[in-house]
Amino acid sequence: MSPKRPNVLWICTDQQRYDTICALGNRHINTPCIDAFVAKGVSFTHAFAQSPVCTPSRAAFMTGRYPRTTKCRQNGQALPPNEKLVSRLFADADYTCGLAGKLHLATCANGIVETRIDDGYHVFHWSHHPQPDWPENAYTQWLHTRGTSWEELYEGPSTDYIKHGVPEEYSQTTWCAERAIDFIREQNGAPWFFNYNCFAPHHPFDPPAEYLARYNPDELPLPKFGPDEPAGKTTYQQLDSRFAHDDPDGYDVASMTDRDKREVTAAYYAMVELIDKQVGRMVAALEETGQLENTIVIFMSDHGEMLGDHGVFLKGPHFYDEAVRVPLIFSWKDRFAADLRADCLMELIDIAPTLLEAAGIEVPEYIQGRSLMPILLDQANAGQHRDCVFSEYYNAWTHKHTYGSMLRTRDEKIIVYHGTDQGEMYDLKADPDEFKNLWDDPRHTERKLRLMKACFDASVFTMDPAPPRLGPF
């Protein structure tokens, strides 16, 4: 008799940076459920997104392929129909697949509903974000069945930067969890695959009032800011240090007081704490239904959030660790290692082949990620997986005609802004906060050339491996 195939509960938040979990070092935030998850699983402490914005990052980790490969390189682009999501591969292997919340593999702006592709989902509760921009928003429809609306619930107090959001029981974060719990309870023994994709802690910073009240801004640290910032950094950072996303109609960053900055951090942490509670509820549902022992649970995010560090809020063409490094935790009771900190460099495209291998599904040759299974099974050095990680920004959202590539090793980082003379280079061993930009320092010319070549090599070695070569000519 063949072993029972594992279920997959894939929890993905939106815009959550790596340093937002208490058990992994943030003493200012309350995340008891994720902390328990950390104790029972493998935490990858150096997990990097392949783009610092939503669509190219999500297309990458949902296919196991780089943005340049999927051709889904920008927010607003659609994933080409020939690309296969990992959910489709699981569905083809007779898994029942479901999703609640955001997908963002096609544009959904100006009233246009995200075009659905051959995604493999049998259950599809689409809600790009909580705002009722589309009648097709399943979260909006659910609120109407409860006799209320987002507009009515969102009428709370606000400042220029934060807001009292929808109460916990009506929030999209909670709604996504309830759809996941319903799905879990409805399964009849066949293997399943479910994506929980809430919009939080993406801006606007609007947690429920009761969660915001748990954080005293005066007790929170100010964002990191170096002595050479923003003057010693790129024009992109200088512009975003004035207005977030270089948008005068958005956050007026230059006018923010220290109190404003601390209040944003408080609101962001409060949104993460609400997520934490929903993680606990979903894991509890697995336990109650007797499915936890045979379910792989993943917790991660699509990319980070600057949160005022380096004078920048939100996201954009920035490759600081705060923007591209995210939490990533795997758990499979009694199968994967427990309470393991894996400090190796890894990329989010490594998730797809890992899940396929764990489920006994053949990993297609066109997938560019590398399986993490040896580390998860505690059969390999948890400190070694990749020598470097690569991330890309190709005119992806803000700052028109901005094209950037990042290569990061354990001790060094280089960012090349193509078509310009601008870039960034950091000695992470001496300067882990990425304050001192060495790009124009003549004392580091040799290092710069070496890292630029390595970045160029990475761009070549990440070319599409498909179609397969069938012969010598």
* Tens-digit pLDDT profile for residues 170-181: 999 999 999 999
Element (H, E) at 86: helix 86-92
**Using CB atoms within 10 A of its CB, is residue 358 exposed (0-12), middle (13-18) or buried (19+)?**
buried
Instruction: Give the model confidence (pLDDT) of 348-362 as tens digits.
Output: 999 999 999 999 999
Q: Is the dihedral of CA 387, 393, 394, 396 positive or negative?
A: positive
User: What are the E-state strand segments in 17-129?
Assistant: 42-48, 96-101, 123-126
For the stretch 25-50, pLDDT in tens is 999 999 999 999 999 999 999 999 99
User: What b/e string do you get for 94-121 counting C-beta neighbours within 10 Å, with b at 16 or more?
Assistant: ebbbbbbbbbbbbbbeeeeebeebebbb
Contacts of 236 (CB under 8 A, 6+ apart): 246, 316, 317, 318, 399, 402, 417, 422
> How far, CA to CA in Å, does 58 sit from each of 76, 279, 306?
12, 20, 19
* Residue of 32, 55, 35 lying closest to 43 (CA atoms): 35
Say if residue 249's pLDDT is above 80.
yes
Q: How many CA atoms lie within 13 A of 199 on its CB side?
A: 17
The 8 Å CB, 24+ separation contacts for 165-169 are 165/206, 165/207, 165/208, 165/209, 166/130, 166/206, 166/208, 167/208, 167/209, 167/210, 168/208, 168/210, 168/211, 168/274, 168/277
Q: Which residue has the tokens 């914005």?
A: 53
CA 394 centroid distance within chain: 18
pLDDT digits (tens, 9 = 90+) for 64-78: 999 999 999 999 999
Residue 274 structure tokens: 């609400």
- Cα separation of the two ends of the chain: 45
| Distance from the Cα of residue 155 to its chain's centroid | 29
| Percentage of the residues of the chain whose pLDDT score is greater than 70 | 99
Give me the pLDDT at residue 1, please: 32
Average pLDDT value for the chain: 96
What mean pLDDT is predicted for residues 237-255?
A: 95
Write the CA distances from 269 to 22, 34, 129, 170, 211, integer angstroms. 11, 13, 19, 19, 9
pLDDT digit string (tens) for 174-229? 999 999 999 999 998 889 999 999 999 999 999 999 999 999 999 999 999 999 99
pTM: 0.97
The Cα-based distances of 297 to 47, 169, 410 in angstroms read: 16, 24, 27
Are the C-beta atoms of 243 and 254 separated by less than 8 Å?
yes
Please give the structure tokens belonging to residue 329: 């935790």
Lowest mean pLDDT among 72-81, 91-100, 302-311, 448-457: 72-81
Burial of 380 (0-12, 13-18, 19+ CB in 10 A): middle
Report the C-alpha gap between 326 and 308 in whole angstroms: 17
CA distances from 375 to 9, 332, 342, 378 (A): 20, 13, 8, 5
Residue 2 pLDDT greater than 50, yes or no? no
Residues 312-338 have a mean pLDDT of 98
Domains, the chain, in order of start with CATH, read 7-387 (3.40.720.10)
The per-residue pLDDT for 111 is: 82
On the question of pLDDT at 3 being above 80, the answer is no
